[in-house]
C-alpha cells in the first residue's frame, strides 16, 4: 500500500515539475510519519524514501530506537518546538524546519555546539498571518525578523537552509497558490540581502492536498503524510 502510494506520488511530482519546467530531482519527497509506527517508516524507507518529518519531540523519542539502523536517513522536526525541548530536539533530529524565533535559534545553537555538530534549520513563516499558527510574520520589516537576520550569522552551529510554511487551508488546492508565491518572494528578498552564512535554497511547502500547486510555485520539499500513509487517527 505505502509503496504503491509513493509510486503514484512520484508520478504526480514528475508531472507537476514538467508543467513548470522544473527538474523533479530538485524536489524532495518528505514522508510525514507522525502518529504512524516505526514499521510504516520502514515501509516508506524500503520504497526508497530517505527524508522523514515528525511533529513532536516526545513521539519521536519513542520511535527513534526502532529506526536507528536505517542508513542515510534524515529525520526533520517539522512541528512547533517548545524551547524547553530544544536540546532534546537537537539531539534526536538531523534538522529542525520550524524555527520561528531568535530565542529558539539561540537555544538550538548552544545545544548543537555542545554536541559538536552543525544543525540544518529552516525558518517557519506564518504566511497566512493566522492567529492559530506558529511562525514568523510574512513581512521582513517585523521586529523578530530583523533580530533573526542580524543575529543568525553569529549562530555558527546552525546552517540556515531556507523557509517552511503551512498555508491556510482552502478546499481548492489552488487557493494556496498566492501564499506559495508570497513565500518565494520572501525567500528572494532574503537572498537579495546577501547575508553571510544564510542560505535560502530550500522552500519547504506543499502537503498532501496541495503539493502539486506548491511544486508549480517553486517548492523544493513537499511534506506528505496522508497521501503516503493514509488517514491519521483523529486526536
Ligand atoms: C502533518 C503535517 C504534514 C503532512 O500533512 P498531510 O496533509 O497529511 O500531508 C506536513 N507538514 C506539517 C508541518 C505537518 O504537521
C-alpha cell at 90: 537537537
How far does the centroid of ligand 1 lie from the alpha carbon of residue 199, in Å?
Answer: 24
If phi over 0 gives left and psi between -120 and 50 gives alpha, with beta otherwise, what is residue 218?
left
Statement: residue 234 has pLDDT above 80: no
Asked if 205 and 180 touch (Cβ cutoff 8 Å), the reply is yes
Residues 6+ apart with CB under 8 A from 31: 6, 41, 44, 49, 51, 52, 53, 224, 225, 228, 229
Q: Is the CB of 78 under 6 A from ligand 1?
A: yes
Predicted confidence at residue 167, as pLDDT, reads 97
Predicted confidence at residue 235, as pLDDT, reads 61
Q: What is the pLDDT of residues 106-148, one digit of tens each?
A: 999 999 999 999 999 999 999 999 999 999 999 999 999 999 9
Instruction: Point out the ligand 1 atom lying closest to the alpha carbon of residue 226.
Output: 8
Domains parsed from the chain with CATH numbers: 2-229 (3.20.20.10)
**Residues above pLDDT 90, as percent of the chain:** 96
Q: What is the pLDDT of residues 191-208, one digit of tens each?
A: 999 988 889 999 999 999
Q: What is the pLDDT of residues 52-81, one digit of tens each?
A: 999 999 999 999 999 999 999 999 999 999
Instruction: Point out the ligand 1 atom lying closest to the alpha carbon of residue 209.
Output: 7
Q: Is the CB of 208 under 6 A from ligand 1?
A: yes
Q: Is the CB of 6 under 6 A from ligand 1?
A: no
Residues 6+ apart with CB under 8 A from 186: 125, 127, 138, 140, 163
Q: Is the CB of 56 under 6 A from ligand 1?
A: no
Band the pLDDT of 90: cuts 50, 70, 90: very high
For the chain, the average pLDDT equals 96
Asked if 208 and 227 touch (Cβ cutoff 8 Å), the reply is yes
Predicted confidence at residue 200, as pLDDT, reads 94
What is the chain's alpha carbon radius of gyration, rounded to the nearest angstrom? 17
C-alpha cell at 40: 510504516
How far does the centroid of ligand 1 lie from the alpha carbon of residue 72, in Å?
Answer: 22
Amino acid at each position: 500500500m505505502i509503496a504503491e502510494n509513493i509510486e503514484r506520488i512520484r508520478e504526480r511530482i514528475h508531472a507537476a515539475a514538467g508543467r513548470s519546467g522544473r527538474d523533479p530531482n530538485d524536489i524532495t519527497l518528505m514522508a510525514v510519519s507522525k502518529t504512524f509506527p516505526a514499521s510504516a517508516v520502514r515501509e516508506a524507507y524500503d520504497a526508497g524514501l530517505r527524508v522523514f518529518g515528525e511533529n513532536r519531540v516526545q513521539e519521536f523519542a519513542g520511535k527513534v530506537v526502532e529506526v536507528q539502523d536505517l542508513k542515510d536517513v534524515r529525520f526533520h522536526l517539522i512541528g512547533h518546538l517548545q524551547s524547553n525541548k530544544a536540546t532534546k530536539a537537537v539531539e534526536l533530529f538531523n534538522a529542525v524546519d520550524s524555527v520561528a524565533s531568535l530565542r529558539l535559534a539561540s537555544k538550538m545553537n548552544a545545544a548543537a555546539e555542545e554536541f559538536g555538530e552543525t544543525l540544518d534549520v529552516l525558518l517557519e513563516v506564518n504566511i497566512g498571518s493566522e492567529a492559530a499558527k506558529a511562525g514568523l510574520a510574512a513581512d521582513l520589516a517585523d521586529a523578530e525578523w530583523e533580530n533573526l537576520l542580524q543575529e543568525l550569522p553569529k549562530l555558527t552551529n546552525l546552517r540556515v537552509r531556507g523557509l517552511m510554511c503551512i498555508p491556510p487551508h482552502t478546499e481548492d488546492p489552488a487557493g494556496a497558490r498566492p501564499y506559495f508565491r508570497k513565500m518565494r518572494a520572501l525567500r528572494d528578498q532574503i537572498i537579495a540581502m546577501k547575508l553571510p552564512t544564510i542560505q535560502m535554497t530550500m522552500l519547504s511547502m506543499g502537503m498532501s492536498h496541495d503539493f502539486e500547486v506548491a511544486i508549480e510555485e517553486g517548492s523544493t520539499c513537499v511534506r506528505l503524510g496522508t497521501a503516503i500513509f493514509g488517514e491519521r487517527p483523529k486526536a
